[in-house]
A and B are shown apart, each in its own frame.
Chain A
């Protein structure tokens, strides 16, 4: 189960994720971001309520990072210790902006 909520002000977009980001839910986030990133210069992924992320989730996050590198910047907030460890194992901790 993954709940996604967006809030936008001008060219800044915040996407809050709640639940599990895995093989079965990652396509949901991917299609949600697809149309939403046009014209966005500031993307924030709020992971406060994210309980679980697997490599399928990481792939979507990496795609978003690549898009935002071309048109602005992206940051992650509310990263739990457990999720942080997954980012560290994969070297994601070094290529993402984590607050």
Chain B
């Protein structure tokens, strides 16, 4: 059997092996290879294992001796069985080993997702394949696998690819995704689930944005956006261009995760679990960068041609706009139209910047249609820049572990909102004292002896000026308003040490309301500010 074939061209020796290599033939195989390459240490050796079905430890020793002779050794076209042996024995750590790729066809398969770098097809009941646009995508695939693994470890539910395949001239990565349905499909086919979709979509968004990423593990979105702003210097009036760059540079570095392409095709419902997919754009950065790409996905890209979103998401422009608005409101924790619009405008600043740059780089300035579109976006951007002083915003909602240690964070969060409306130190202290009571109650009793989450929401309205603070926890049902008031007319010696907190809260605030809804304690404090 002709089981060894050595071809030398220039500095490259290609050695093809086939069949089995075990103790019966290992010696012969080694002799044949060595007679061709022995002493020629300058050769790069590639072992093509396309036809190799099995290798025993005798065969592995042959590989080690080749490696000793020619340190520049690579194994290619390795079938799964042989790859497993190489991985188990640590060979994949010692030298480059490239797998042979399974070939998969996506002809007639349903397209279930689409992102910046590729398209996702369902290949059978349990599996999907993401086909990359870039023909030379192995590095991208590796990157996506790495970041998806990282996200999973950090607590984000996602699917991780288990195989790399060839799809025509492209590469694809295969995921297990059973019976999943994208949020785009749910919104298109079951409009009655709109509110549910908003709730789940925003819950996942908050989860992503509250995930701290170890330094250096993901690219920094701020750097990317700074480079977009620099690009724009050549295309905007001097003053606008410089302001754009200054605004982006003023956004502080942030080590929290952002998805980078968070639209409804990248969120999947599998059984009862919501999964995030298409992880290759994962980065760290301020949430305003995420909101910008969300704005573009739901509105920006389809603003001048409403058919675009239909083609891409399956639902119409009105549904997309309504979904964006409702999600932004829920994310910010406010119903205040002015506040929502203000944050939307900040997102649009980066959104238009991105679209203009993208269009120019794709030759947009060379077509009439492209030119008109760029002009339109540019005018919007210049107008927005003229009235934007910062890209930063704060959410009206804070979700934290309910512990004593987090009290300063809660009070700071509340006081920030009170400062916004120019609250006097007197009123500020009273509201903080009331808020502290409720929060500390949750920290001490709601989940005792465990620790759980608390959500704090601050809503400010003017005319009349009122502050509403809502505390939500999922701990034991407990109505603090039921507590009996202490007798505050007693002398110091007669008085109990405790029992003051809730009483003070009730005295300070104009309205204290308790509800227990769907497993949540909801306590609402309201104060009119004269």
Give chain A residues whose Cβ lies under 8 Å from the Cβ of B488.
Answer: 90-91
- Give the residue of B405, B429, B436, B492 whose beta carbon is less than 8 angstroms from that of A62: B492
Q: Is A59 an interface residue (CB 8 A)?
A: yes
User: In the complex, how many residue pairs between chain A and chain B have their CB atoms under 8 Å apart?
Assistant: 74
Give how many A residues have a beta carbon under 8 Å from the other chain's beta carbons.
Answer: 27
Q: How far is the CB of A16 from chain B (nearest CB, A)?
A: 19
Q: How far is the CB of B119 from chain A (nearest CB, A)?
A: 52
Contact check, B407 vs A66: say whether CB atoms are below 8 A apart: no
Q: Is B508 an interface residue (CB 8 A)?
A: yes
Contact check, A59 vs B492: say whether CB atoms are below 8 A apart: no
- A40 and B490 CA atoms in complex are apart in Å by 25
Contact check, B433 vs A54: say whether CB atoms are below 8 A apart: yes
Give the interface segment out of B56-64, B73-81, B496-504.
B496-504
- A83 and B426 CA atoms in complex are apart in Å by 8
Give chain A residues whose Cβ lies under 8 Å from the Cβ of B489.
Answer: 91, 94
- Give the residue of B440, B492, B504 whose beta carbon is less than 8 angstroms from that of A69: B492
Q: How large is the interface on B (under 10, 10 to 19, 20 to 34, 35 or more residues)?
A: 20 to 34
Which residues of B are interface residues toward A (Cβ below 8 A)?
A: 404-405, 407-408, 411, 425-426, 429-430, 432-433, 436-437, 440, 488-493, 495, 497-498, 500-501, 503-504, 507-508
Give chain B residues whose Cβ lies under 8 Å from the Cβ of A66.
Answer: 492-493
Give chain A residues whose Cβ lies under 8 Å from the Cβ of B504.
Answer: 55, 86, 89-90
Q: Is A56 an interface residue (CB 8 A)?
A: yes
Do A86 and B503 contact each other (CB < 8 Å), given the known contacts A23-B404, A66-B493?
no
* Contact digits for A31-66, partner B, Cβ 8 Å, 1 yes 0 no: 000000000000000000001111110110011011
- A81 and B497 CA atoms in complex are apart in Å by 24
Give chain A residues whose Cβ lies under 8 Å from the Cβ of B440.
Answer: 23, 56
Contact check, B404 vs A95: say whether CB atoms are below 8 A apart: no
Give chain B residues whose Cβ lies under 8 Å from the Cβ of A62.
Answer: 492, 495, 497
Q: Is A96 an interface residue (CB 8 A)?
A: yes
Do A95 and B508 contact each other (CB < 8 Å), given the known contacts A23-B407, A90-B500?
no
Please give me the residue from chain B that is nearest to A83 by CB atom: B429
Contact check, A95 vs B495: say whether CB atoms are below 8 A apart: yes
Give chain A residues whose Cβ lies under 8 Å from the Cβ of B497.
Answer: 59, 62-63
Do A82 and B437 contact each other (CB < 8 Å), given the known contacts A59-B497, A62-B495?
no
- Give the residue of B430, B432, B498, B507 whose beta carbon is less than 8 angstroms from that of A59: B498
Which residues of A are interface residues toward B (Cβ below 8 A)?
A: 22-24, 51-56, 58-59, 62-63, 65-66, 69, 81-83, 85-86, 89-91, 94-96
Please give me the residue from chain A that is nearest to B508 by CB atom: A89
Contact check, A24 vs B407: say whether CB atoms are below 8 A apart: yes
Please give me the residue from chain B that is nearest to A65 by CB atom: B492
Do A89 and B507 contact each other (CB < 8 Å), given the known contacts A24-B404, A55-B433, A55-B437?
yes
- Give the residue of A24, A63, A82, A90 whose beta carbon is less than 8 angstroms from that of B426: A82
- A17 and B429 CA atoms in complex are apart in Å by 17
Contact check, B432 vs A95: say whether CB atoms are below 8 A apart: no
Contact check, A82 vs B492: say whether CB atoms are below 8 A apart: no
What are some 12 contacts across the A-B interface (CB < 8 A)? A54-B436, A54-B437, A55-B433, A56-B436, A59-B497, A59-B500, A65-B492, A82-B425, A82-B430, A85-B426, A89-B508, A90-B488
Contact check, A24 vs B408: say whether CB atoms are below 8 A apart: yes
Give chain A residues whose Cβ lies under 8 Å from the Cβ of B430.
Answer: 82, 85-86, 89
Counting chain A CB atoms within 10 Å of each CB, the highest count among B426, B490, B492 belongs to: B492
- A59 and B490 CA atoms in complex are apart in Å by 15
Please give me the residue from chain B that is nearest to A96 by CB atom: B492
Contact check, B492 vs A81: say whether CB atoms are below 8 A apart: no
- Give the residue of B411, B432, B503 whose beta carbon is less than 8 angstroms from that of A90: B503
- A62 and B486 CA atoms in complex are apart in Å by 14
Q: How far is the CB of B160 from chain A (nearest CB, A)?
A: 41
Contact check, A95 vs B491: say whether CB atoms are below 8 A apart: yes
- Give the residue of B490, B500, B507 whose beta carbon is less than 8 angstroms from that of A58: B500
Q: How far is the CB of A93 from chain B (nearest CB, A)?
A: 10
Please give me the residue from chain A that is nearest to B426 by CB atom: A82
Give chain B residues whose Cβ lies under 8 Å from the Cβ of A90.
Answer: 488, 500, 503-504, 507
- A51 and B425 CA atoms in complex are apart in Å by 9
- A56 and B432 CA atoms in complex are apart in Å by 13
Q: A22-B407, A59-B498, A63-B497 are in contact. List 8 more A-B contacts (CB 8 A).
A: A23-B407, A23-B436, A24-B404, A53-B433, A54-B433, A56-B501, A85-B426, A89-B430
Do A52 and B432 contact each other (CB < 8 Å), given the known contacts A22-B407, A66-B492, A95-B491?
yes
Give chain B residues whose Cβ lies under 8 Å from the Cβ of A85.
Answer: 426, 429-430
Give chain A residues whose Cβ lies under 8 Å from the Cβ of B411.
Answer: 22
- A96 and B492 CA atoms in complex are apart in Å by 8
Q: How far is the CB of A29 from chain B (nearest CB, A)?
A: 14
- A22 and B410 CA atoms in complex are apart in Å by 13
Contact check, A55 vs B501: say whether CB atoms are below 8 A apart: yes
Q: How far is the CB of A91 from chain B (nearest CB, A)?
A: 3
Please give me the residue from chain A that is nearest to B405 by CB atom: A24
- A90 and B495 CA atoms in complex are apart in Å by 11
- A81 and B408 CA atoms in complex are apart in Å by 22
Please give me the residue from chain A that is nearest to B443 by CB atom: A23
Q: How far is the CB of B193 from chain A (nearest CB, A)?
A: 42
